[in-house]
Amino acid sequence: MGDGVPEQDRPYVSALGELVVESSAGGRTPLVGVGAAILLRLLFMQGQLVSCESIRDMLPRRGSSGAVYTHVGKVNAVLRRHGVEIPRSASSGYRLPKDLLRLDVLEFPGRVAALGGAPDTGEVARLLAMWRGDPLQVHHLVEDRHWNAAVRARRQLVDAVSALFRQGVEVEGWAVFADRFGHDPAVGRADALYPGRRARARRRLLIVEDDEQMCRLLETLFGDCDITTVRNLDEYHRLMAGDPPQFHGALVDRHLTPRNDDNHGFHALMDLQKRRIPRILITAYFLSGDVEQNYRHLTERFGLSGICTKADRTDGTFDSLHVREAVDRMLGPG
């Protein structure tokens, strides 16, 4: 498949959210993690060579040449279901002909530009629906610059929605879009113009905590949020490797095993930082030594919104008010 294949018949890659490859021949096939990042790198290069070395840089602990071959092979296994394949270049890399696949990220700006001065509400709704998640969070192995044109076009789309709202016209799908990108000031300003009344979606909070009693306490404390709880690092990775909700924030325990010396919460915090999901560290105690210095070091290292202890330092009881206030600041108005 390539030269001579009508554009509408080429397999379509949706990456404004979790990556999905779809075609009439192969249905819909998701691709996550390194595989999604490799395919996106090839697509963004639009026919130019992607070296094996640059792919190695995307792998955990940089990987080996054999690991590059293995990961590209897994991507090819997905693409073959849709009648295409990544050819190996003689120059120690890979090149994906730019007429082989379509990509929503590259098509979105042109579709927004075509709206003109009197946008069709149906097309506006279809464009809003293309954003199934924040790619800056979902595809954290891909350089931010590759999303710039689509993000600029998204702002132009929001301006078009604002103009419709000023005319008293409602747009299908706006509520879902606005709740997904409520952190964007432009979306907030447009939402204030919404001509009808709508219920705002509940905030989505991820809790990473191994202690069952503490989990129940936190789930009760944040009963006004949609809660997802995972109990250890393996559960966390399984959740985030699939199609997780677009979390507004996370509350992460430092230790996730009964030994209380594993620091597995740090691994979750590093991953959440890459995904740009706001996060708070919770711990049973403050580290020994200079408390303020340790607090500042951990806050900077993981980009934390805050650090909370499980017990009040004065009487040993759970300081639910402090935790509630910290999470409310992190999540913002709901």
Q: What is the pLDDT of residue 208?
A: 96
Inter-residue long-range contacts of 41-45, CB under 8 Å, 24+ positions, other chains counted? 41/142, 42/86, 42/94, 42/95, 42/96, 43/13, 43/96, 43/98, 43/101, 43/103, 43/105, 43/106, 44/105, 44/106, 44/142, 44/146, 45/95, 45/96
| Structure-model confidence comparison of residues 125 and 257, the more confident one | 125
For the record, the structure tokens of 125 come out as: 């709704």
pTM: 0.68
In this prediction, residue 333 carries a pLDDT of: 61
DSSP three-state, residue 28: strand
For the chain, helix (H) and strand (E) counts, in that order, are 14, 12
Name the token pair of 25: 């021949």
Question: Is pLDDT larger for residue 26 or for residue 129?
Answer: 129
Instruction: Give just the sign of the alpha carbon dihedral 107, 109, 113, 115.
Output: positive
> In the predicted model, what is the mean pLDDT of residues 139-164?
94
Determine the pLDDT at residue 224: 81
Write the DSSP assignment of 192-223 as a string of letters.
TT-SS--PPPPPEEEEE---HHHHHHHHHHTT
What pLDDT is stored for residue 296 in this prediction?
84
- Counting Cα atoms < 13 Å in the Cβ hemisphere of 187 gives 16
Average of per-residue pLDDT across 286-311: 79
Average pLDDT over residues 257-276: 88
| Predicted pLDDT of residue 293 | 79
In percent, how much of the chain has pLDDT > 70? 91
Query: Does residue 158 carry a pLDDT above 60?
Result: yes
pLDDT band for position 285 (cuts 50, 70, 90): low
State whether the Cα torsion 75-236-254-207 is positive or negative: positive
Q: What is the pLDDT of residues 204-250, one digit of tens each?
A: 999 999 988 899 889 888 888 889 999 999 999 989 887 778 899 99
Report d(CA 245, CA 228) in Å as an integer: 9
Q: Tens digits of per-residue pLDDT, 119-137? A: 899 999 999 999 988 898 8
| pLDDT tens, position by position, 107-122 | 999 999 999 888 899 9
pLDDT at site 220:
87
The whole-number average pLDDT for the span 97-104 is 91
Residue 161 has pLDDT above 80, yes or no: yes
Cα Rg of the chain (Å, integer) = 23
* Local confidence band at 1 (pLDDT 50, 70, 90 cut-offs): very low
- Average pLDDT (163-170) is 94
Comparing 54 with 200, the larger pLDDT belongs to: 54
Instruction: Label residue 190 by pLDDT band (50, 70, 90).
Output: very high
Distance CA 58, CA 53 (A): 9
Statement: residue 314 has pLDDT above 60: no
The pLDDT assigned to 144 comes to 92
Q: If pLDDT is split at 50, 70 and 90, which confidence band does 288 have?
A: low
Residue 58's pLDDT is what?
Answer: 84
